[in-house]
Amino acid sequence: MPVEPTQPEEPHRGRGVAFAARALLSLLFWIYFATTCVFFFLGALVIWLVTLPFDRHGRLLHLYSCFWAASYFYINPLWSFRMAPGSRAPERNRAYVIVSNHQSLGDILALFATYLPYKWVSKASVFRVPFLGWNMRLNRYVPITRGNQSSIEKMSAACKDWLSRGVSVALFPEGTRSEDCTVKPFKVGAFRIAREAGVPILPVVLNGTADSLPKHGFVIQRSTHARVCVLAPHDVSPYPTDEAAAEAVRMIIAEQLARMRAEPMQ
């Protein structure tokens, strides 16, 4: 008995075409990213040399670095960026310890895109990455080696030095990216630094960045609509312990993240 030929499954074909399109667009993005890093770094080097005599805190170089990072939102048709409703504009001349939830590498670009003034605290290995890491050195961002007590102490001292000069520092208190986008327990280091330096915590909430730059692999999974909400500064001095302060701020960020996820995307 003749067997009728089976028809290809359209859903599978559609998924294959969609993946191929994402892979091609991702390849073009990474080529663009790698190429522009060279040129942006050359611009950063010029700005560093020109502003070195009068911009002792490197504020102009940091603003340039913000534009460098934000430009990838401007150019990538799969990405968008917007400050969420209710986001506050902090005092520009006041120092904070900025803390945020962490979903993906795209969080770094999104925080840069806020143009907030600060010094990043980042893994020491990142400072060795060509062009990107070199720019971090020019900016005098703060390196840290996880699990190394000496490095942690140096990081803490460097952060308090910047804060004493009126310059904010920014950290991801979860320590690593959340696999399921929930807000994981916070490490207490950022809150201890804030208490000892006598400055408030500035909570920042990120939503929609999880698939912008995947943790494993290079294919951008879907369109990314990054939304950032800067909350009111939070004084940590009334809390009896750094752990209590960390949990209180974690709950504030988690509650705001839940509200942002419940809002329709605009």
pLDDT in tens, the chain (266 residues): 455 555 555 555 666 676 677 778 778 888 988 999 999 999 999 999 999 999 999 999 999 999 999 999 888 887 889 998 888 888 878 999 999 999 888 899 999 999 999 999 999 999 999 999 999 999 999 999 988 899 999 999 999 999 999 999 999 999 877 667 789 999 999 999 999 999 999 999 999 887 676 665 666 666 778 899 999 999 999 999 999 999 999 999 999 999 998 876 65
CB 212 within 8 A of CB 195: no
pTM confidence score: 0.88
pLDDT of amino acid 216: 58
Cβ-in-10-Å burial (0-12, 13-18, 19+) of 32 comes to: middle
Q: CB neighbours (10 Å) of residue 209?
A: 27
Quote the number of domains for the chain.
1
Residue in this structure with the two tokens 């910047």, named with its chain if needed: 162
DSSP 8-class letter at 234: B
Domain annotation covers residue 244: yes
Domain annotation covers residue 1: no
Strand positions, DSSP E, 164-218: 169-171, 201-207
CA dist 203 and 233 (Å) reads: 7
CA dist 79 and 31 (Å) reads: 16
pLDDT of amino acid 85: 84
Domain annotation covers residue 53: yes
Domain annotation covers residue 103: yes
pLDDT of amino acid 5: 53
CA dist 148 and 145 (Å) reads: 6
CA angle, 178 then 182 then 186, to 5°: 70
Domain annotation covers residue 38: yes
Domain annotation covers residue 121: yes
**Chain-centroid distance, C-alpha 76:** 17
User: Helices marked H in 76-131 — which ranges?
Assistant: 106-112
Domain annotation covers residue 77: yes
Output the six-digit token pair for 261: 């996820």
The range of the structural domain enclosing residue 107 comes to: 11-262
The closest alpha carbon to 185, from 194, 173, 196, 177, belongs to 173
The CATH number of the domain holding residue 17 is 3.40.1130
pLDDT of amino acid 176: 74
pLDDT of amino acid 120: 96
Domain annotation covers residue 3: no
